[in-house]
Amino acid sequence: MSTPISRRIFLALGASVVVAACSKSDGGGSGDDGSGDTTPSTTPSTTPTTSTPLAPAPFDVDPFTLGVASGDPSTNSVIIWTRLAPDPLNGGGIAEEEVPVRWEVATDIEFTDIVSSGDVVATARHGHSIHVEVAPPAGAVAYYRFRVGEFTSPVGATRVAPDSSSLDTVRIATASCQNYTAGYYTAYDDMVKQSPDLVVFLGDYIYEGGVGTLGADTVRLHNSEEITDLVAYRNRYALYRSDPLLRNAHAACPWVVTWDDHEVENNYAGLTPQDAVDADGYAARRAAAYQAWWEHMPVRLDPPVDENLSIHRRVTWGGLVNMLVLDGRQYRDDQACGDAVLQVSPACEEASVPERTMLGAQQEAWVAENIESDAVWSVLANQTVMTDIRLGAAVLNYDQWDGYAPARDRLMESVSSADNLVVLTGDIHLAGVGQLTSSIEPTTARGVEFVTTSISSSGNIDSSTEALLVALPNIIDAEVAHRGYTLHTIDATSWTADYRIVDDALVEGSAVTTWKTFAVTAGSPTVTAI
């Protein structure tokens, strides 16, 4: 069993983050490229411990303002990340200079047993971000940090995934939708205390909108007008990473991250913007947004070179979880029927065109090729609600899978032979549990969907309509009023989802409790509240 991050280690790690971020020293999953091959794409960058002196830093203030992170663990390596930003809200503050950075991996939080280290160069081309593939010892928590001149980064905790022979219990937290202006990140404080082995972030890491105005539903402000270029996107990520609760969550365990729309712009589809008037130059905007996303995420991916970036990949955890991380934005057709929302009139003919796609033909084929495995649970990490919640012939939200029903039917057919299908979803700012079906067999359960509510983004559905939502045939239950995250406990016989909700995300330090807990037994698509 992988060693969990205990409460004691969490407290020690929190203390080290505070100290290391301000200190000066004396000098001293598997992811893949979209092909389905989970072998790391590069040789791990681990080397014997380096004893050469560190070069002086070309700045006199702490460059590790954005913290550290790790992600995309495989059975033999994990990605560790940081970005140098002594002036984080103004482009980073390093200009064009190349900066040597040392990374270190240790078996203990005090770094008395450094097992590997090396040197890399942070360049302006990639915003002075660092992505290093390292191979810490298997079966236990490892610790990592970065050093530049006299500065030492916060300490992060990480681990590699167990191999396929392991059926030890894993705890996975799912999160999404963290609008900085709409609430505090209290959910992350609770998440870290719960000590998950892995965090799966399902999209909307940043929001692209303007500054805003403080008020009843706006607790803090964005740092610019709507972002459209690379510097602005970098500054927005820096603003979000300025929150210590988010930084601590990244430092606590590895993350697997996908995106949704707000990492570029609300409800964009492929290279089609939300507003047609913005079409000219939109490819350049998407290129800037994708690069900034890559620069700030601990992903096992090569950097983008244009407006495209293949991010769908497979992550496994022991013999329990075969998870396909999907991209439902980059390849989708434009939303049908004018992207109408909450209209109860029958859908227009466009919505039922067979060729319409959410994932694109190549990604659809990749899912079909990679969904089957020897793992107990087959998982899709997905952005938008997959459960069929159409109201008769009406589509309530064309941005969700309901607006791409033929594509959903193809997907359900391609995964029909997979064992124990679970879909993990964000986007819609509510907590919900759905039963997956297809239009071909609308009464046959294909699997279960766990929709996590937003970390901070405001609710999209009024509480007065909650009962109507729950009354829909495929909805097991829903809670629309609170923010939070979902903690999944997975073993060889059951999958349990604890919905952790914040009493009031508009109040710092608000209490976090469990709304409800749901369970699925391996071998059955039925989900029940416990």
pLDDT in tens, 134-164: 999 999 999 999 999 999 999 999 999 999 9
Phi, psi of 283 (to 5 degrees): -60, -40
Q: Is the pLDDT of residue 502 over 60?
A: yes
The whole-number average pLDDT for the span 81-91 is 98
Extended beta strands in 107-209, E state: 114-122, 129-134, 142-148, 151-152, 156-158, 170-175, 198-201
- The neighbour count for residue 124, using CB atoms within 10 Å, is 14
- The neighbour count for residue 310, using CB atoms within 10 Å, is 18
pLDDT in tens, 346-365: 999 999 999 999 999 999 99
Kind of pairing between the strands at 142-148 and 431-436: unpaired
- Nearest CA among 131, 23, 140, 118 for reference residue 78: 131
Helices (H), 298-404: 361-370
- Nearest CA among 175, 158, 126 for reference residue 457: 175
Lookup: tokens for 54: 């560190």
Contact between 74 and 30 under an 8 Å Cβ cutoff? The reply is: yes
Q: Given this model, what pLDDT does residue 51 score? A: 60
The whole-number average pLDDT for the span 254-267 is 98
d(CA 259, CA 255): 13
| 359 Cβ contact partners less than 8 Å away, ≥ 6 residues apart | 312, 326, 327, 328, 331, 332, 367, 407, 411
The whole-number average pLDDT for the span 396-425 is 97
Higher-scoring residue by pLDDT: 443, 326: 326
Contact between 334 and 274 under an 8 Å Cβ cutoff? The reply is: no
Q: How many residues does the chain have?
A: 530
d(CA 30, CA 39): 8
Q: Given this model, what pLDDT does residue 462 score? A: 85
Q: Among 5-19, 61-75, 186-200, 431-445, name the one with the lowest average pLDDT.
A: 5-19
Residue with tokens 């995964």: 415
d(CA 54, CA 234): 27
Q: Given this model, what pLDDT does residue 461 score? A: 86
| pTM assigned to the model | 0.92
For the chain, which domains are there? 7-158 (2.60.40.380), 177-529 (3.60.21.70)
Q: How does DSSP classify residue 4?
A: P
CA quadruple 277, 278, 283, 286: dihedral sign: negative
pLDDT in tens, 6-60: 443 444 454 444 333 333 333 334 444 344 343 333 333 334 455 688 989 999 9
Per-residue buried b or exposed e for 184-194, using 16+ beta carbons within 10 Å of the residue's own CB: bbbbbbbbbeb
Higher-scoring residue by pLDDT: 196, 11: 196
d(CA 243, CA 206): 12
Q: Is the pLDDT of residue 493 over 60?
A: yes
Write down the mean pLDDT value for the chain: 91
Q: Given this model, what pLDDT does residue 472 score? A: 94
Lookup: tokens for 22: 């301000």
Lookup: tokens for 417: 């032979």
Q: How far is CA 365 from CA 15, 32, 508, in A?
A: 47, 15, 45
The whole-number average pLDDT for the span 211-238 is 97
Kind of pairing between the strands at 447-451 and 421-425: parallel
